[in-house]
């Protein structure tokens, strides 16, 4: 019996230690998806609201648990304890414990409501509008003022408000870039909005934060914050038509494979016959750092593996063939040409 108790106690201590390590690991600042290192006004305002509420909660926790522990020890039953005296009501105490939580809740509500109103404010005319379309299981980014459409990577300029119009093509997703902006649900049939102004150039990872099916965890993206000059150069380059391969080159063979296989059914390459709408626009595919819904870096090897057998990289739902299918019918030579063509689309 004692052996079982020792094992149970050991298991409990181990479980608590693991839980504590996981809890404390959330405090590390410079991890890609940490909220405690904000790099935009939106995330900063949420952080500035979160911290005072957190410390207030710690205070409440310590006081309440302290009173419970003192009461448990000081007033515990002893063998010679007399039967306790029955007490009915204590007006002062009841007023105190009604008033105290009401004041604490008011202290939390006032800054919370003002932050919500602040974050919901419409930006000025200088803002950059980007339409974000969430879908199983990737993100499309459309720049309505310049006609640019891309996927998996959102480019924005530093120091300028970015106004995102969030839409969904299918079910509910949630747009979240921990270092730049708080979560916002992306709901079919309506447009939600987020505005943020990034303050530091760099790359920030984002993630769908609402469970949306088998590949939810693989619905990632990246926000690339650039200097205004870099951003304008990127935008100008994305507005160009797709690069046309040299006749007779491996890229030209790849284009032929693309246009004669299933690819055209789902993807658009501007300036060609490919006008599919189901998958990402590939007009400037070669200029992206991430592919496959943000799961893979864009290298010829990864793209080859993706074309050959996408479902094994992003496993889907049995019976729901959403996402990129496996192109097992293509020869190695055809896939190599296809990869060369797509990577040439800078
Ligand atoms: Cu989209 Cu989870």
Question: 112 and 163, same structural domain?
Answer: no
pLDDT tens across 5-38, in order? Answer: 888 899 999 999 999 888 887 777 678 888 888 9
From ligand 1's centre to the CA of 195, what distance in Å? Answer: 20
From ligand 1's centre to the CA of 315, what distance in Å? Answer: 14
Atom of ligand 1 nearest to the CA of 210: 2
Protein residue closest via CA to atom 1 of ligand 1: 173
Question: 192 and 256, same structural domain?
Answer: no
Ligand 1 proximal residues by C-beta, below 6 Å: 134, 137, 173, 208, 210-212, 216, 219
Atom of ligand 1 nearest to the CA of 173: 1
From ligand 1's centre to the CA of 34, what distance in Å? Answer: 19
* Of the candidate ranges 63-67, 83-87, 130-134, 317-321, the one whose mean pLDDT is the lowest: 317-321
Question: 151 and 101, same structural domain?
Answer: no
Beta-strand runs (E) in 158-219? 162-168, 173-177, 181-186, 192-196, 202-208
d(CA 177, CA 34): 9
Asked whether the beta carbons of 238 and 130 are under 8 A apart, the reply is no
d(CA 269, CA 263): 10
Question: 134 and 234, same structural domain?
Answer: yes
Q: Are strands 220-226 and 153-157 parallel, antiparallel or unpaired?
A: parallel
Mean pLDDT for 37-56 is 94
Atom of ligand 1 nearest to the CA of 172: 1
- Judge whether 195 lies within some domain: yes
From ligand 1's centre to the CA of 141, what distance in Å? Answer: 16
Q: How many domains does the chain have?
A: 3
Atom of ligand 1 nearest to the CA of 209: 2
Q: Which of the four pLDDT bands, split at 50, 70 and 90, describes residue 318?
A: low
From ligand 1's centre to the CA of 8, what distance in Å? Answer: 39
Question: 214 and 149, same structural domain?
Answer: yes
- Judge whether 22 lies within some domain: no
- Judge whether 14 lies within some domain: no
Mean pLDDT for 97-112 is 94
Give φ, ψ of 272 to 5 degrees.
Answer: -125, -175
Neighbours of 308 (CB within 10 A): 15
- Judge whether 27 lies within some domain: no
Structural domain boundaries, residue 296: 250-343
Mean pLDDT for 139-156 is 94
Please tell me the chain's helix, strand, coil percentages from 3-state DSSP, rounded to the nearest 5: 45, 20, 35
pTM of the model: 0.82
Mean pLDDT of the chain: 90
pLDDT greater at residue 52 or residue 311: 52
Q: Single out the residue in 179, 208, 238 at which a domain terminates.
A: 238
Atom of ligand 1 nearest to the CA of 211: 2
């Amino acid at each position: 019996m004692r052996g079982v108790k020792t094992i149970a106690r050991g298991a409990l201590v181990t479980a608590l230690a693991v839980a504590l390590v996981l809890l404390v690991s959330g405090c590390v600042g410079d991890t890609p998806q940490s909220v405690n290192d904000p790099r935009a006004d939106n995330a900063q305002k949420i952080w500035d609201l979160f911290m005072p509420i957190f410390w207030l909660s710690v205070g409440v926790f310590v006081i309440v648990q302290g009173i419970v522990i003192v009461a448990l020890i000081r007033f515990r039953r002893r063998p010679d304890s007399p039967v306790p005296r029955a007490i009915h009501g204590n007006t002062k105490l009841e007023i105190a414990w009604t008033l105290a939580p009401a004041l604490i809740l008011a202290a939390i509500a006032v800054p919370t409501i003002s932050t919500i109103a602040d974050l919901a404010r419409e930006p000025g005319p200088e803002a950059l509008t980007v339409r974000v379309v969430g879908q199983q299981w990737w993100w499309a980014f459309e720049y309505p003022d310049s006609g640019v459409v891309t996927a998996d990577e959102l480019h924005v300029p530093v120091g300028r408000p970015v106004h995102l119009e969030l839409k969904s093509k299918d079910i509910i997703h949630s747009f979240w870039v921990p270092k730049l902006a708080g979560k916002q649900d992306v709901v079919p049939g309506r447009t939600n909005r987020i505005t943020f102004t990034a303050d530091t150039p760099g790359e920030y990872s984002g993630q769908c934060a609402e469970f949306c099916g088998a590949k939810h965890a693989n619905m990632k993206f990246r926000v690339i914050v650039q200097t205004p000059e870099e951003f304008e150069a990127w935008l100008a380059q994305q507005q160009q038509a797709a690069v046309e391969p040299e006749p007779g080159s491996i890229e030209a063979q790849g284009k032929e494979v693309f246009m004669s296989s299933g690819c055209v059914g789902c993807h658009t390459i501007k300036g060609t016959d490919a006008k599919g709408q189901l998958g990402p626009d590939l007009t400037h595919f070669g200029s992206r750092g991430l592919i496959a819904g943000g799961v893979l870096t864009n290298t010829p090897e990864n793209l080859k593996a993706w074309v050959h057998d996408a479902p094994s990289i992003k496993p889907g739902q049995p019976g729901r063939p959403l996402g990129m299918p496996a192109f097992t019918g293509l020869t190695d030579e055809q896939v190599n040409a296809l990869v060369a063509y797509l990577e040439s689309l800078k």
